[in-house]
Amino acid sequence: MKRSHLVALLLIAFLAGLFLRGCFSSAPKTAPTDAAAHVVAEDTIWTCSMHPQIRQPHPGKCPLCGMDLTPLHSGSNKQLGPRQIELSPAARAIAQIETAPVERRFVESEIRMVGKIAFDSTRARDVTVLADGVIERLFVNYEGVPLRKGDHLAEIYSPEVLAAQKELLAAQRSGNAEGARQKLSLLGVLDEEIDATLQRGTASRAFTVRSPVDGVLVSKSGNEGHWLNRGDTLATITDNTAVWALLDAYESDLGSIHYGQLVELTVEALPGRTFTGHVAFIPPELNDQTRSAKIRLNVPNPDGSLKPGMFVRATLLARQSVSGKEVSPELADKWICPMHPEVIKAAPGTCDICDMALVPTLELGFVSADALTSIPPLVIPATAPLLTGRRAIVYVADPHSPGLYEGREVELGPRAGNFYIVKAGLREGEQVVVRGNMKIDSAAQLLAKPSMMSPVETAEENAAKLEPYAESFNALLHAYLDLAGALANDDLDGAHANAAQLQDAAKADFPRIAAHAATLVAAKSLDTARIAFGLISQPVVAIAREHAADLRERAFIAFCPMANDDKGAEWLQRTEAILNPYFGDEMLTCGVIRGHVGAEN
């Protein structure tokens, strides 16, 4: 009992010592940091790191969670915008902030795929017997044997052919052998065998079936002694001077793959050699389990070194223009076969292989030669945007205030390698944060500012969105309306002049529209100019609708259901009577008025 009392007394003494030490000790447990040693200004705002909506003019506890409040910022005369955040030099160093310029350049996305080589089934040829008979001798008795045109495949005994030979000899004696000769030919007997029968003067027991093409024996029907009925296939031969490469392309890469693109191939069995093929088929549906599509290439194989079943690796370099179409100088303004992409010509015509009419590559997603000299797309490094699934946020460095960053929502195009194409929201030359942007966004969230997690804009911010650009957009709109009128009048020279004015008005604040205008300036035909006009019209009509009250000119919104390959397209024009710029004199009045924007006078 005494022992337990002693233990209890010692425990009480120990706890009392800890209490007194805490009450009277003035030495801190750790040395204060520079950040904690500064004197907080009187007008500092205090907030909770867990509940940033809490704002108090003095320190204390958070009324929601009880945590100590932390200083938000000291008083400053600088007024920051709703999407702006300022970091001190020390904060920038800790966050390791790095920036890169927004620039215009053609970028390539490298798409890697794997697959296997297969026979080109369009080059397969069935050898069919045209008369009943039995295989007496089979010269090609295993699959895979290489064949030349004219090589013997089999000797077939056919009672019908034997009787027709005897008829031929009898007809020869009467001087009228043409009909009997034609009958033998229809039974599959070759001309040289018919001539040999006439020279010999006796009928042969069997006739020979020969290969009609060069290739490889893919399959055969039966062995020696096998009976064949008329119409049965004796053998299938495939020409292997060209083969297929069947590649697995992921769903995310399909937007950059187009019919006719050139692809480089390597195979494990032939190290050091590189083959090339053209994209010949993109299936209309995906594999539900792998989320990939089986892309087919046509690959030349003149020496037969590519064997079906070989494992193949493929690399496709896709270069996109500002319009999102594929940039391929070797295919620009060319004509291509819709079945054989290796058949490319400089003018309309027919395919040398299948006699199908060639189609322009412009219809298959490639830019015209005019567009090759247009403004490259606006791009940013792939590490710059913060992607939320529906939106993309970038932080732009203020060129005049080091440490000041503005969050901005941007519209992105496809990813190309280590870059994203920018459709709207940035200007050439601006500096975007490529490292540390997540840390900036986290700081914005603590300050209850709009971020990647909170896209809400204030009403004032929304209303003022066009205000800094109103002057340039009104100048742009004036040139656009002149351009629409020129195209409606089939005036290509006038369209060039109006597009140049539009490009000049748009280049500072609307780079996407300026790029399409540059394409139109270089257009050598009305058709090409009208395609570029459609790309210009989409953003112009959208901006005009959203900010109709800010426009100095009144314009009517028109719509033609037959434009854009019968998909329909809108445009703006000055008159209420339809003047269609997509068709000009061909269908000048095709369309309807959907409304108007701008001033009433």
Average pLDDT of the residues in 411-439: 86
Per-residue model confidence (pLDDT) at position 266: 94
Nearest to 274 by CA among 240, 247, 312: 312
The CATH number linked to 314 is: 2.40.30.170
Average pLDDT of the residues in 321-330: 57
Domain membership of residue 27 (yes or no) is no
In this structure, the answer to whether residues 361 and 296 fall within a common structural domain is yes
Residue 476's domain comprises 467-597
Average pLDDT of the residues in 309-324: 78
Sorted by sequence, the CB contacts under 8 Å of residue 54 that are 6+ apart come out as: 47, 48, 62, 63, 64, 69
The answer to which of 37-46, 515-524, 525-534, 535-544 has the lowest mean pLDDT is 37-46
Segment 445-462, tens digit of pLDDT: 766 666 666 655 443 444
Average pLDDT of the residues in 287-298: 89
Q: Is 436 helix (H, G, I), strand (E, B) or coil?
A: coil
Per-residue model confidence (pLDDT) at position 336: 75
Per-residue model confidence (pLDDT) at position 387: 86
Q: Are 233 and 221 in contact (CB under 8 A)?
A: yes
Q: Take residue 353 and report the two structure tokens written for it.
A: 């292989």
Q: What percent helix, strand, coil does the chain show, rounded to 5?
A: 30, 30, 40
Whether 600 has a pLDDT exceeding 70, the answer reads: no
- Using alpha carbons only, how large is the chain's radius of gyration in Å? 39
Segment 196-205, tens digit of pLDDT: 888 888 888 8
Average pLDDT of the residues in 23-35: 35
In this structure, the answer to whether residues 492 and 572 fall within a common structural domain is yes
In this structure, the answer to whether residues 447 and 534 fall within a common structural domain is no
Per-residue model confidence (pLDDT) at position 74: 42
Burial group, residue 91, by CB count within 10 angstroms (0-12, 13-18, 19+) = middle
Backbone conformation region of residue 260, classed left if phi is above 0, alpha if psi is from -120 to 50, else beta: left
In this structure, the answer to whether residues 554 and 473 fall within a common structural domain is yes
Domain membership of residue 403 (yes or no) is yes
Whether 13 has a pLDDT exceeding 70, the answer reads: no
Per-residue model confidence (pLDDT) at position 300: 92
Give the CB-side neighbour count of residue 516, counting CA atoms within 13 A: 24
Higher pLDDT, 51 or 479: 479
Query: Measured between alpha carbons, how far is 507 from 530 in angstroms, rounded to an integer?
Result: 20
Per-residue model confidence (pLDDT) at position 78: 52
In this structure, the answer to whether residues 484 and 539 fall within a common structural domain is yes
User: Which position has the token pair 């620009």?
Assistant: 332
In this structure, the answer to whether residues 180 and 300 fall within a common structural domain is no
Per-residue model confidence (pLDDT) at position 455: 59
Domain membership of residue 461 (yes or no) is no
At 548, which amino acid appears?
A
Q: Which of 238, 256, 273 finishes a domain?
A: 238
Per-residue model confidence (pLDDT) at position 395: 93
Nearest to 51 by CA among 595, 448, 520: 448
Per-residue model confidence (pLDDT) at position 349: 83
Query: Measured between alpha carbons, how far is 256 from 295 in angstroms, rounded to an integer?
Result: 12
Nearest to 334 by CA among 342, 318, 578, 139: 342
Q: Is 368 helix (H, G, I), strand (E, B) or coil?
A: coil
Q: Rounded to whole angstroms, what are the CA distances from 416 to 253, 408, 430, 489?
A: 10, 21, 20, 39
Whether 267 has a pLDDT exceeding 90, the answer reads: yes
Per-residue pLDDT band at 306 (split at 50, 70, 90): very high
Per-residue model confidence (pLDDT) at position 526: 92
In this structure, the answer to whether residues 488 and 586 fall within a common structural domain is yes
Q: What is the mean pLDDT of the chain?
A: 80
Domain membership of residue 3 (yes or no) is no
Whether 20 has a pLDDT exceeding 80, the answer reads: no
The CATH number linked to 164 is: 2.40.50.100
Domain membership of residue 44 (yes or no) is yes
Whether 194 has a pLDDT exceeding 50, the answer reads: yes
Segment 458-495, tens digit of pLDDT: 434 444 455 667 788 888 999 999 999 999 999 999 99
Query: Measured between alpha carbons, how far is 208 from 137 in angstroms, rounded to an integer?
Result: 9
In this structure, the answer to whether residues 449 and 511 fall within a common structural domain is no
Domain membership of residue 554 (yes or no) is yes
In this structure, the answer to whether residues 231 and 220 fall within a common structural domain is yes
Average pLDDT of the residues in 424-446: 85
Q: Is 573 helix (H, G, I), strand (E, B) or coil?
A: strand
Per-residue model confidence (pLDDT) at position 375: 63
Higher pLDDT, 415 or 167: 167
Specify the pTM: 0.51
In this structure, the answer to whether residues 366 and 482 fall within a common structural domain is no
In this structure, the answer to whether residues 278 and 348 fall within a common structural domain is yes
The answer to which of 405-419, 455-469, 560-574 has the lowest mean pLDDT is 455-469
Average pLDDT of the residues in 249-278: 87
Q: Which of 420, 454, 488 finishes a domain?
A: 454
The CATH number linked to 95 is: 2.40.420.20
Per-residue pLDDT band at 25 (split at 50, 70, 90): very low
In this structure, the answer to whether residues 308 and 391 fall within a common structural domain is no
Q: Which of 373, 399, 427 finishes a domain?
A: 373
Average pLDDT of the residues in 33-60: 56
The total domain count for the chain is 5
